[in-house]
A and B are shown apart, each in its own frame.
Chain A
Amino acid sequence: MTMYERVLQRQILAGGHAGRQDKYGEAGATLLLLGVLAAAPLFASRATVNDLGQAVCLGLFAISFNIVFKYSGLLSFGHAAFFGFAAYAEALLLQFFGNLPIPLLVLDAAASTAILGLAVGQICVRREGAYFSMTTLAIGAGLYSIAFKWSAVTGGTDGLDGFMPDTLTILPGWQWDSPGIAQTYWLVLAILIPSALAAWALLELTPFGNAVRAVRQNEKRAKFLGYDTHHVKLANFTLAAALAGIAGALWAIDNSFVSTDSIDLTFSTTVIIIAFIGGTNWYWGPVIGAVVYIAASDWLSALTPHWQIWLGLAFILLVLFAPGGIAGLVRAGWRRANV
């Protein structure tokens, strides 16, 4: 068994069996998490809401990573390619078509990213294990160097800013003049939560999602039962790319700034860390991971310039001793309380 397979196995074992108790627990936890996020501007400071805006975009991005990891068993090492591509696309769309409704522009960026995902997936998804990871890494590196070199479009190392129009069109005939932090945050959530829920429903409630899970559990048998397993995995990868596209587009709106930071290889590893901190076995776990990651990096970076060492150490400990991440720890506590 390779190292890679062992890590995958540990993640899956940490999930355990889901009983009826767990289902209610998970539904309750989902409502609580989404409710707290939606209500945050009512009680949290402006700085916190600002951080949360970044965190939810990162959270959706980490959900996208985890859709490939959890539902197809593939570890993407170049996932920032999709997030960054969408962030640049959204910035350029806002710059040139800033008077169009925001949801349309986000949809546009997500659709372009899905097409990119379809093309990239066509190459990567046929490979398994480390070969899949290496292929995504190579493609991620390629897209990064394009963003870095093609400064006429991407602004190179300076990035893009000043693309946000003063007046945002929410829907035709409904406009916001220079929206505040809370307004922008709610706009982001109003697109983000339904998108994440739709992807969840697709994977958990429909025959398509069942096909994805069947291929994940036993690809060989699925093939001999008539499943076109390559296309099933490709469809799931494309779905994940679309979601990363929404995350990147919302990130551009929330930050009003896009740079190579959102497409470089470090960011591709950051999203893995975020997903694992939150927990890969619960669909919303990566969102918790993102909130904790942003909070911890804020707090640690104020204490020491070497904060990434401490964050890395905490990550190693978490993977070793709590492979289910924070969501896994909470679930274990919940089960103990319900015995």
Chain B
Amino acid sequence: MSEIFLLNVAGLSKGFGGVPVLANVNFSLRGGERLGLIGPNGAGKTTLINVITGGHAPDSGRVAFQGRDITSLPPHRRNRLGLARSFQILSLFPEMTVFENIRNALLRYRGRHVQIWRRLSRLEDIRAEAAHYAALVGLGQALDQRVDTLPYGEARRLDIALVLAQQPELMILDEPAAGLSASETRDLVAMLQATIGTCALILVEHDMDVVYALADRIMVLDYGSVLAEGTPAEVSANRQVRRVYLGAAAG
């Protein structure tokens, strides 16, 4: 009976300075499942992601990944289990090139990040693999460009390339379309649809078109609690959800 979920979140609560941000959040995710996480500003979406990936310790509750309790593991150990994330506020290696950024992700994923007997510049296989991931996100021509000179939209895609390069079991994208133009957003959705494959996804996003295009299940968070959960059709028909988040126009 007890099916092993890829991710299992049980009774998660978290407060900051006495203000509750997450209150008894429960949900599960199967392998390959794509969950859209929506809700008004301050609903606790980013906090939930931080608790799942290890950025914050919860006040109570537990997080299990592939049947293993990871509640007290630091972020780097969770990453090594197959959990990778992007950031709402861009978090890259600004003084390195696009190639070097992806290489940082690859060297770690391949367990070669602390080698002291190899020359960094001679790792041809890593170079080829990095070029592959750069091309996947449309940065094939920008490999040797420094990241602090990259246009914002391209930096956003690089952020996702770092996640893809580690071939995670679960990728968590925190507002990947934030700040992108309409056409950039369309490109991003197409790129993600083509590259996610069998990887499970948790997608935090305000742009509902992006959510509908990528998620096969939606969870609505409001005041730190799960307000509704279901297929996109179920959630968008939910009266409460329309009142607190989608607004009357969504109907």
Q: B-contacting residues of A (Cβ < 8 Å)? A: 17, 202, 205-211, 213-214, 217-218, 220-229, 232, 235
Contact = CB atoms under 8 A, between A and B. Distances in A.
Interface residues of B, number: 38
Contacts of A228: 76
Contacts, number: 89
Interface of B: 53-55, 74-76, 79-80, 84-85, 87, 91-96, 100, 103-105, 107-109, 112-121, 123, 146, 162, 166
A209 B75 CA distance: 21
Contacts of A235: 114
A10 to B, nearest CB: 15
A221 B91 contact: yes
A209 B162 CA distance: 19
B93 A206 contact: no
Given A202-B116, A221-B162, A228-B76, 16 more contacts: A17-B146, A206-B118, A207-B113, A208-B113, A210-B113, A211-B113, A214-B96, A214-B104, A217-B93, A217-B95, A224-B55, A224-B75, A224-B85, A225-B76, A225-B105, A227-B108
Contacts of B116: 202, 206-208
B118 A225 contact: no
Contacts of B93: 214, 217-218, 221
A169 to B, nearest CB: 30
Contact of A210 (B85, B91, B120): B120
A199 B91 CA distance: 29
A267 B74 CA distance: 38
Nearest to A226: B79
B104 A206 contact: no
Contact of A225 (B79, B119, B120, B123): B79
B91 A220 contact: yes
Contacts of B108: 211, 225-227
Chain A to chain B: the 8 pairs with minimum beta-carbon distance, closest first: A226-B79, A207-B115, A221-B91, A226-B108, A208-B116, A217-B93, A223-B75, A214-B104
Nearest to B108: A226
A151 B113 CA distance: 45
Contact of B112 (A207, A223, A227, A229): A207
A170 to B, nearest CB: 28
A223 B96 CA distance: 17
Contact of A207 (B54, B74, B107): B107
Contacts of B74: 223
Contact of A224 (B53, B118, B119): B53
A210 B107 contact: yes
Give the one of A211, A226, A227 with max B CB within 10 A.
A226
Contacts of A210: 100, 103-104, 107, 113, 120
B129 to A, nearest CB: 14
Contacts of A229: 76
A229 B104 CA distance: 13
